[in-house]
């Protein structure tokens, strides 16, 4: 009985996983300007230019809010240092609105350097690639027609799960890119809040969130490195029992390893947010 179609299904599912893993690895070290040939980035630059008009209008509003919130009376307006402080806030906010997209690119470049350093330390993710062991191929080839029916069901289910996990993983990385574009497009509106002393925390929160999205790439790279070392330790292939049990045991372990990586990739944003929350708690003054 020729069971090459079962082997072909498994090889196809593993091929999808390996292709998406390689694509994810390349996307993590790619800049938003080069993504998809730069077409999306040019559109974002156009949107950013339109948002600058709104940002300039908000500068005056946030400046007025900052002045009135920090002024105890009319006498404060007669103090040169009071006026100078708000003027400095206004100038800094004006520069942030005008050159905000360049600031976003510079922040991404710094985070990309961290990602490249982490990725270059291991040279690649060859250890994370999955292939069908020779023992499994031989065992499947010797299965008769009746025994191949439950084997077909097992492999079909396993291939489906592997394919879904591969697409979930790559969709998370693509989602990170789209978040970077959204932050770059809306940056003039958020950075205009630096014009007011009392509203500047909005701009700081915006920049922190953007840096968190950039650093998600570093968390994903570290997850891939850990997964590569974990996968390189070897997958146990069951030697006893029926072929169906052996294949089911092998696929179960492979899918478990993949679930670990996909969970780490999808949880990269939560890891970054937890680090930000911890740093905020540590920076708050303690009341004794």
Average pLDDT for 264-273: 80
What's the pLDDT at 287? Answer: 44
The residue among 12 and 242 whose pLDDT is bigger is 12
* pLDDT of 183 above 90: yes
The residue among 288 and 198 whose pLDDT is bigger is 198
* pLDDT of 203 above 50: yes
Mean pLDDT value across the chain: 80
* pLDDT of 142 above 90: no
Cα atoms found within 13 Å of the Cα of residue 73, Cβ hemisphere only: 1
What's the pLDDT at 258? Answer: 87
Average pLDDT for 65-83: 63
Average pLDDT for 184-197: 88
Contact 194, 63 (CB under 8 A): no
Contact 265, 220 (CB under 8 A): yes
* pLDDT of 224 above 50: yes
Q: Which residue has the tokens 């959204």?
A: 182
Positive or negative, the CA dihedral 16, 17, 20, 22 is negative
Average pLDDT for 50-73: 80
* pLDDT of 1 above 50: no
What's the pLDDT at 199? Answer: 82
Average pLDDT for 68-74: 60
d(CA 167, CA 159): 12
Q: Which residue has the tokens 């230019």?
A: 49
Average pLDDT for 167-189: 91
* pLDDT of 13 above 80: yes
Average pLDDT for 171-178: 89
Q: What is the CA radius of gyration of the chain?
A: 27
Give the whole-number percent of the chain exceeding pLDDT 90. Answer: 15
d(CA 255, CA 153): 16
d(CA 51, CA 71): 30
* pLDDT of 45 above 80: yes
**Interval 77-106: pLDDT, tens:** 556 666 677 778 788 888 889 998 998 999
Tokens in use for 244? 């169906």
* Candidate ranges 131-140, 239-248, 274-283; pick with highest mean pLDDT: 131-140
């Amino acid at each position: 009985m020729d069971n090459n179609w079962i082997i072909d299904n498994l090889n196809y599912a593993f091929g999808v996983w390996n292709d998406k893993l390689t694509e994810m690895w390349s996307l993590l070290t790619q800049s938003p300007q080069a993504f998809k040939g730069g077409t999306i980035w040019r559109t974002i630059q156009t949107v950013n230019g339109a948002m600058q008009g709104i940002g300039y209008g908000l500068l005056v509003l946030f400046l007025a809010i900052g002045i009135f919130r920090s002024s105890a009376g009319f006498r404060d307006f007669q103090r040169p240092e009071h006026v100078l402080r708000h003027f400095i806030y206004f100038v800094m906010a004006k520069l942030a609105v005008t050159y905000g997209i360049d600031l976003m690119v510079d922040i991404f470049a710094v985070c990309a350097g961290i990602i490249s350093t982490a990725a270059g330390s291991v040279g690649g993710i060859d250890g994370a690639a999955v292939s069908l062991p020779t023992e499994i191929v031989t065992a499947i080839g010797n299965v008769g027609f009746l025994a191949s029916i439950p084997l077909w069901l097992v492999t079909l289910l396993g291939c489906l799960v592997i394919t879904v996990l591969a697409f979930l993983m790559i969709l998370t990385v693509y989602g990170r890119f789209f978040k970077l574009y959204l932050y770059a497009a809306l940056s003039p509106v958020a950075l205009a809040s630096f014009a007011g002393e009392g509203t500047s925390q909005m701009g700081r929160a915006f920049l922190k969130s953007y840096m968190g999205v950039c650093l998600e790439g570093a968390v994903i790279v570290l997850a891939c490195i850990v997964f590569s070392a974990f996968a390189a330790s070897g997958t146990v292939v069951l030697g006893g029992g029926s072929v169906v049990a052996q294949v089911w045991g092998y696929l179960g372990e492979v899918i478990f390893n993949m679930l670990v990586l996909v969970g780490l990739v999808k949880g990269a944003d939560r890891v970054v947010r937890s680090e930000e929350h911890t740093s905020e708690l540590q920076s708050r003054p303690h009341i004794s």
